[in-house]
Amino acid sequence: QQQVKQSPQSLIVQKGGISIINCAYENTAFDYFPWYQQFPGKGPALLIAIRPDVSEKKEGRFTISFNKSAKQFSLHIMDSQPGDSATYFCAASTGNQFYFGTGTSLTVIP
């Protein structure tokens, strides 16, 4: 059973556009929600993370929106650039257990 459901599986966006990736979870015990960025041949790298006591967190062009009541969170990439082309994973954790979405392959077209 997938603890964290991620969509879409793939996404193509024009340069300068907004990329939006969505995740949903069921376990209300989750208390930490990180996003990872992975380039081909590399390991996932922490991009941005949020805890459920806030509804939004922004770091540069990357924003997490968090809806606790709906048990959903999303990653918004503003002014998307070709260098943002990568696979993005959402995750949720409780204690020391981490659960990952299946990933979204983002392609930003110049």
Q: Where along the sequence are the contacts to other proteins (CB under 8 A)?
A: 6, 31-32, 34, 36, 41-46, 49, 89, 91, 93, 95-96, 98, 100-103
Q: For residues 26 and 79, which CB has a smaller minimum distance to other proteins in the complex?
A: 26
Q: For residues 34 and 63, which CB has a smaller minimum distance to other proteins in the complex?
A: 34
Residue at token pair 């606790």: 68
- Report the half-sphere exposure of 108 (CA within 13 A, side-chain side): 19
Q: For residues 74 and 88, which CB has a smaller minimum distance to other proteins in the complex?
A: 88
Least gap, CB of 11 to other proteins (angstroms):
16
Least gap, CB of 87 to other proteins (angstroms):
9
In DSSP notation, 14-64 reads ETTS-EEEEEEE--TT--BEEEEEE-TTS--EEEEEE-TT-SEEEETTEEE
CA neighbor of 84 nearest in space, from 35, 22, 37, 34: 37
Least gap, CB of 45 to other proteins (angstroms):
7
Q: For residues 16 and 97, which CB has a smaller minimum distance to other proteins in the complex?
A: 97
